[in-house]
Structures are given as structure tokens and as C-alpha cells.
Structure 1
């Protein structure tokens, strides 16, 4: 299944070309088309490509539904049905929440989505804009969807709500007063209850939703989409656009074009270089050990946040090492932390990084993998002018420049070899 909105993302189309070409080489032209389907908007480039390649099925979605608001549209429902989700049951739950969203007047207390949205807007107005998610283990991946919805919808016009997903739950003394917690728990799950009670006792605002079972996610999809729209209205911003997302894409395309013309990546000069890594920063350093501690010394508890942007293979062991580093940052500086693997977050939290009030500090970690894969220029042929490694590096440095252009604080570490060893030694 290849899924993309009308604009599309270069990595989605690149992966489609790569996998189509791979299957083509294995199965031949007669069988390959049976293995591909597309979900997209009418008139998109993907629709035309799917027609040209004779995909098995093309699902055309309502183009008026924005990408991050499309969980209950064909973009979310087709894949869900293919993995065995009871779609009718999911829609019945969603519909029950949609009916409540129409309540007003003396029945407004039943309109959970509107009240939640207003509450998020009011808390943000009070500088409590670090929306920290605590989610039951079984539904924990739901946090990644919330992250994109909230960040891309609210991060603009120098305002924003930062969703904090998968951060280790700490004792209250490690949190600044910019935090608001949302606890999404499945009925009967009391795993985090003791920690939750400590947060409440310490005076942190905490909002809790209890789900009867996983099909209550149907309610949650609608509730969060509606509430995010309301929060945007309260904050005085347009929740349905993403003006800064294209900015990084433009720069990345320029880097790629230069590479295709010259055969080499044209990158800025590093401020520090060794056999192990290059560092790109505003200031020059004599010792690599000083770089991160100096950079993070600008953190202000209750205001700043640290975003770790890893352009590496998101393997479980690498994720665990980065989570450990993230916990160290939280404990030492008492600031909210986020962790994203590139290029995914470019289309999720990337809008907020450049459009919010500018309190983020960004640490980019860029790998030079030993193994790479060529992206076919045409899915029917084996010719290639760029690889995935080149594409991702272009996106990393394109986003770096977009952050700098928006006056954000960013430091980039380009690891030349042995990324896991680097991550093991990563400390502040």
C-alpha cells in the first residue's frame, strides 16, 4: 500500500519506486501490479503513477480532508481493514463521539472534544504548552499519531503546543511549570497510577481518558481531531495549514539537485572534525566533549525544550540508547524532551519546530550507514541518480538550514562510522 496526499513526500515516492522495482525484478511485469495499491487524492501524481503502472487498486480519498485529520478516512481505514480491524465497530465508537461534539448550551458539558480543545488552548495561554503523554502500553503507538496532529496543527505564528511522547515518567521535581499531562489508559490498567497520583499531588494539571477497550480509539481519533481544531481557534491560528513544512523541502531539493549535477553533496564546513564525526555549530570548539554541555547550557526550565533528531536506522537498541540520553537531559536541565527519527518528524513535529515561539534546542544526529540502497529514477528501470543515504542527508541538512533561517538553535553531529558506539558514549 502506497499512501500519500496530493503533494506527496519525496521519501514515500522514493520507497514506492524502490519496492516496485524490487518486486518487478523478482516477479516480472505480469505479476508485479497485483502487489501494489495506492491511497491518494484525486489528480495527484501518485494517482497518475498508479494508473501508469497498473496498480491493483487506487483508493481516492476526499481531498478536503487534511492528512493529519484523515485517520478515519480511506488513508487510515484501508490499512486498518487489511490488518483485521473491525471497521464497523470502530466507526460506531467514533460516531458516538461525533454526536457528542454537536452538544451546546446547557448540554455543553457532554461535548468532550470542545471542552478538551478549549482547555488545551487556555493552558497554552498560561504557558503550559508541553503536552506530555502517558499512554497504556497496549495503545502506546497512538502517541505518535497525536504528536503529528497537535504539533503540525498548532505550531505556527510563534505559538504552539509541544506534544511530548514516550518520555520516561519522572518524579515531579524534574518537571518545569510548563507541563500539562494527558493520561490515556485502558480500563483496568493501573501500571502508572502511583506516578500519576504524585503528579496530581504536586499540582500539575492532568487530564485522563479511560478507554473501555482498543476500539475506543475510534472515539479518541475524532475527539483529538476536533479538540485540536478548537484549540487552534482559541489560540488564534489556522490549524489546517502547515506553512513551514515546505521550507525544509525546498532546501533539500536544492541540495539533491546540486548532487545530481556535480556528483557530490555540497554541505557547510564543519566547525569541528575528527576521524569519528563532524560537528556543525554556531560556535567553534577545541574539544568535542564541550559541545553538547555548552549548547544545552542555554536550557531554561519551564520554557525550553530539547528535540533530538536522529537520522539513523531506528533499531530498538539505538532507540534505547537515545532514550537514555534523553532521560539524562530531562534530569539535568528539567526541560521537556522529544525524540524523532528522520525523515518522519519533518512531516509531524517539523512544522512546530519552525513555527512555535522559538524555545527549542535541536540536536541532529546524522549517520553515514555502511549499506545504502539506490532509488530508481523510474520504477520500471534500474537506473539511479541518488540513493536513500544521500536523500536522507539532504533532508537533514535542509531541515538544519530551515531551523537556522527561523532563528532556531541547532547543532548537528555527522557520525562517520559506528553509530552504536557513538550513541553508547553520548553524554552531557
Structure 2
């Protein structure tokens, strides 16, 4: 339950009850309808979607029939390509132990780095005792004969799945396999991906089982095939006695939407929305979430839901995992921040932390975990929509990201997208590093010194203008380099500045949290990292041109939005990147030390 004695929270709860906000949400009328619509079309099918699926059982049976058909075809490896809400749910399921279901393995794919394709191919090849290169038809046939790719887009303009499917179809043709037997597409009518599927005569399925289009991508779970098909595959391949109906029925029972409508003050996710709203400053709030190891995979889904839905007009909720913030740091603050502990323990000790008590998290079987997960999806969506209502934020759509998509599309037409920034000024150079800065930044002696100077200016501004630090890595990095950068970013943010830090991986992050960075709260500094040269794909044709275009296009779009954003380019290959990156962050930490 929420912290006792907070009159503001009581006021927000009273407003939700008095204005019948949840009734508006369910009936799709009033202010809720306006805030939940995109281009005049309500995107609120997710609110009652589970109830409708339970009433129309044949819709769930159709998904289960699809899963059984995939099983009968002998598919053992399923690559799920999509961006943002089209794939994050699959990431969550895989991280929670549902990636390997009997004889089937799921591979989420949301990167345009050829290394991501190589990783999947190498994983499949090891299970078949194959080694690259994979060029001849016989080897490719053995490699791909039991592999399927599902391409998903819950938006109209996503192109990454098209590039993956194009690459995969060409490989299938080289392997003398029939593409239509190894691919499936789920998308909106008329989308870029839908046009591609028609050209390829690829089998298509509606995202919503009822064929509707009223569910935004980040609300894809649990009522669209983005959640339902992976779960149906798990149940099929493990020969479970459970069904989609039984899992959703338990989830809907735990969700207690009737309770939220009739007694808002007694529903944990309504309480949370009110607490977040009242803690916000000018509509902006930082949420630091603590969860058990079992439920940590859910964090990335919550992060996307909140930031893509609410990060608009300088408002929104920025989500972090719980982090130890130094109260002596120059930017430390207790205002505008809420610490939340998500727990199954109804007797959790009271503290300044908001206790989000969800008894159904205490599960014993995989099927119970799936039901609990679906309930969490529904609950957090309720919190998001109520926060949007209280702060008058349109929570449908993500208009800011269309800017960078258009830029990336244009940059891909160049022989090398890096040509676009070849003569950018100011650019700081040091050995293999190039730091491209906003035009108003005063250059210092080195890239690290320039970055720290900007951090200090924000940290010591009046009023203080630094609430979090973002480091975004474009493409793949070796795990030890990734961990080193993450540790440095958190030390700089948590310990030296007293603020939370994000370490994001792009391009996936550009479809999940970039809306917030471009149009949400602007009190942050972002460092984008791009290595110039990437791996070559080990089979077929796929380059890093899209990855480069995305890195540059998003950076340009951030500058256009007046965001304090740097682009750090390492001139070299992956093997050349570790040492200069580690040196950059070592110098950053050193220069941020008190007294420097």
C-alpha cells in the first residue's frame, strides 16, 4: 500500500473517484478518450481486451491452432523480429525462462547490428555442429530447415523487421527452401511491413485476434499476438494442460478492474498512479523501481510503457532500476522522485518507499507466472493511463520519434551515413575518439573534459538542471566493455552527482524510451556511443548502414529538440573500441571528483 498521511495522494485519489476516470477509461469517453486517442482514433482496446477474449473463446483457439501448426511443421528455432512494443514482451518472456520451450527456442531480434544476426546464426549452428561460413546451399539448408522468422510491427513506419525479413528470405532462397513456409508477419493494415508482406506473399496474421487496430505497441501485452503466440507456443511445446483462456482468466481475476472502478483508493495500481502524480514536479517524475530477481525482466517493459506513453511536452515518468544515490552529490534531490518496491509480501516493512503489494507474484508453476505477468502488464497500464489523466498527457502515440525515423530513412540512402557529419563543428578529437557536441557547448581540451564541463554546468545551474544521466550504446559491445561502461556511468551519476543513470542499447532503445528523451523531461545529459566499423554478417547480405543512420538521425533529432546530447564516435573496429572507451570514462570519473 502507499505511504500513509499524504494529503496530496488522497486528493488525487478523490479526483480519480470524483471524475470517474476509470469509468471513462472503460467506456472510452470524456477526457480519457481524448488522451487515449491517436489521430482521432481511440487506442484503448487493451483496457477490456482480456474480457473480450474470454467471451470469444474462438479467438484464443485460433492462436493456439497457429502454435500447433508451427509445432507440426517441425520448427525448432523461432526468430522474433520487431522493435519496441512488438518485441519487448518477447524479451521479458525469454528472460523469465520461457525462451526454451521443449524443442523450441525463441530469439528476440531488435538490432540492426550485423553482430546480432551473427549471434543468432552461431547459436543455432552450434546445436547442429555447423561452423561458419555458411555459403553453400546444402549447409544453409541444414542450418535453416527448422528455423522460422516472425516479423512484427505495431506501428506504421518501422522498417527494421523488413530488413531482417529481406535478409532471411534471401538466405532461404539460397538454401532452396520455400520462404512462405518459414516466415509469418503480424502488423497493421497498410504499414510498411504489411506492404512488404504482400509483395512477398508472406502469411499474415492480425495483431489483435479480433482484427482490431485499437492497441498501441507498448500495450501489446497481454491482449495481442505479441504475448499470446509466444505463450501458446510455450504451452504447445511443453505439452502443458493449461490454455490461453485459463492463463488470461486468472490474470483478469487478479487485475480487479471492477475494484479499481468502484473503490479506487483500494487498488494498488491506482494508489501508485496517485502517488506518482503528486510527487511530480510540473508533470515530471522519476520512478526508481525495486523488484526481486525473478521479476527484474519486467523492468524494460515498464520503462517503455511509461516513457513512450507519457514523455511528452516536458512531462512524463522516467523509469530506473533502484540505485543508491549519494545524498552529498550536487544534484541529489528527494523532490520529484518516487522509490517503489514491487513485492508479493503483504507484510512488507513500511518505509518511505511505496510498497506495490501484489500477492499473485508468489507463484509456484510456469503457468501461474504467466498469469501473474499478464496481471502486471494490465496493472501498470492502468497506472500509466491514470497518471496521463491526472497530468493531462496524451498517452497514445509517439510523435517525436517519427522525426528521427524520417532522418534515418534519408541517411540510409547515402553510401555511408557518417558522411553527413564529416565536417560537424564543434568536434573534439583525441586519438581514436571523436566527440560531436551541440553548437552551444564550449569545447575543452579533450572529449572527456568537454563532456564533464557540460555536466558541471547543468549540475551547478540555478535552478539545478540535471536529474539523470543517459549513456546509449549503438550496436553490440563485448560484455566486459559493456559492464565497464555501465559501472562508470553509474559511478558518475549515482556517486559523484547524486542522480540515477541509464545505460541503453540502441537501436532497441530508440523504439522504447526515445520519445521521453526527445519530448519528455529535459533535465538530463545524453551521451551516444557509436563504433565506426562493425562485424560483417556471416551469411547473406546485411550491413551496418541502418545502424549508423539510426545513431546519427536520433542525435540530430535530439539537437533539434534542444536536448543536451553528445555523439561519441570510435574510429575503428569493435576490437579497437575497448581501450579508448575505458580511457574516456576513466577521465570522466577523474574530472568529476570533488575538487577537480
TM-score normalised by the chain length of structure 1: 0.84
Displacement of 1:339 after TM fit?
A: 1.4
Q: Is the 8 A contact 1:164 1:338 kept in 2?
A: yes
Q: Is the 8 A contact 1:374 1:388 kept in 2?
A: no
Q: Tell me, yes or no, if structure 1 residue 421 matches structure 2 residue 579.
A: yes
1:66 corresponds to: 216
Q: Tell me, yes or no, if structure 1 residue 3 matches structure 2 residue 152.
A: yes
2:544 corresponds to: 389
Distance in 2 between residues matched to 1:18 and 1:305, nearest whole Å: 38
Tell me: CA distance 1:179–1:99, structure 2 relative to 1, closer, same or farther (3 Å).
Answer: closer
2:480 corresponds to: 317
1:112 corresponds to: 268
Tell me: CA distance 1:34–1:149, structure 2 relative to 1, closer, same or farther (3 Å).
Answer: same
The correspondence for 1:411, drawn from 566, 580, 585, is 566
Q: Tell me, yes or no, if structure 1 residue 298 matches structure 2 residue 457.
A: yes
Q: Tell me, yes or no, if structure 1 residue 78 matches structure 2 residue 233.
A: no
What SS class does the counterpart of residue 341 from structure 2 fall into?
A: strand
CA deviation digits over 1:343-389, x for unaligned, max 9? 111111111111123111111111123423499xxxxxx7x7xx542
Q: Is the 8 A contact 2:220 2:226 kept in 1?
A: yes
The correspondence for 2:248, drawn from 82, 91, 115, is 91
CA deviation digits over 1:185-231, x for unaligned, max 9? 4669x9xx9xxx7xx75x45554545122331111100011110111
2:202 corresponds to: 55
The correspondence for 2:429, drawn from 251, 264, 273, is 273
The correspondence for 2:183, drawn from 16, 22, 36, is 36
Displacement of 1:313 after TM fit?
A: 0.1
Q: Tell me, yes or no, if structure 1 residue 331 matches structure 2 residue 485.
A: no
The correspondence for 2:288, drawn from 114, 128, 132, is 132
What SS class does the counterpart of residue 115 from structure 1 fall into?
A: helix
The correspondence for 1:353, drawn from 503, 517, 525, is 517
Q: Is the 8 A contact 1:160 1:355 kept in 2?
A: no
1:378 corresponds to: none
Tell me: CA distance 1:251–1:302, structure 2 relative to 1, closer, same or farther (3 Å).
Answer: closer
CA deviation digits over 1:2-35, x for unaligned, max 9? 1112414222221221222223322x243x3222
Q: Is the 8 A contact 1:4 1:39 kept in 2?
A: yes
Distance in 2 between residues matched to 1:302 and 1:212, nearest whole Å: 41
Q: Is the 8 A contact 2:475 2:507 kept in 1?
A: no
What SS class does the counterpart of residue 63 from structure 1 fall into?
A: coil
Structure 2 residues without counterparts, runs of 5 or longer: 1-149, 237-241, 364-368, 589-596
* Corresponding residue pairs, total: 404
1:371 corresponds to: 535
Displacement of 1:295 after TM fit?
A: 2.4
Query: Which deviates further from its counterpart, 69-78 or 167-176?
Result: 167-176
Distance in 1 between residues matched to 2:411 and 2:204, nearest whole Å: 35
Query: Which deviates further from its counterpart, 227-236 or 208-217?
Result: 208-217
Distance in 2 between residues matched to 1:65 and 1:318, nearest whole Å: 38
Q: Is the 8 A contact 1:279 1:413 kept in 2?
A: yes
Distance in 1 between residues matched to 2:558 and 2:406, nearest whole Å: 13
1:237 corresponds to: 393
What SS class does the counterpart of residue 419 from structure 2 fall into?
A: coil
2:377 corresponds to: 221
Distance in 2 between residues matched to 1:410 and 1:52, nearest whole Å: 39
CA deviation digits over 1:253-294, x for unaligned, max 9? 22223x05x887321526122441211013323233412321
Distance in 2 between residues matched to 1:298 and 1:14, nearest whole Å: 41
Distance in 1 between residues matched to 2:290 and 2:174, nearest whole Å: 45
CA deviation digits over 1:132-182, x for unaligned, max 9? 1222212212111111100011110121110113x6445766653132122
Distance in 1 between residues matched to 2:183 and 2:564, nearest whole Å: 42
1:379 corresponds to: none
Displacement of 1:77 after TM fit?
A: 1.6
Q: Is the 8 A contact 1:156 1:356 kept in 2?
A: yes
Q: Tell me, yes or no, if structure 1 residue 308 matches structure 2 residue 465.
A: no
When the two chains are superposed, the root-mean-square deviation of aligned CA atoms in Å is: 3.0
Structure index of larger Rg = 2
1:163 corresponds to: 319
Distance in 2 between residues matched to 1:362 and 1:112, nearest whole Å: 33
Tell me: CA distance 1:235–1:127, structure 2 relative to 1, closer, same or farther (3 Å).
Answer: closer
TM-score normalised by the chain length of structure 2: 0.62
CA deviation digits over 1:77-119, x for unaligned, max 9? 21232244953343123212444355445x3333333332222
Distance in 2 between residues matched to 1:264 and 1:412, nearest whole Å: 12
Q: Is the 8 A contact 1:117 1:230 kept in 2?
A: yes
Q: Is the 8 A contact 1:244 1:351 kept in 2?
A: yes
Tell me: CA distance 1:236–1:24, structure 2 relative to 1, closer, same or farther (3 Å).
Answer: same
Q: Is the 8 A contact 2:430 2:446 kept in 1?
A: no
What SS class does the counterpart of residue 544 from structure 2 fall into?
A: helix
Distance in 1 between residues matched to 2:534 and 2:215, nearest whole Å: 40
Distance in 2 between residues matched to 1:298 and 1:205, nearest whole Å: 33
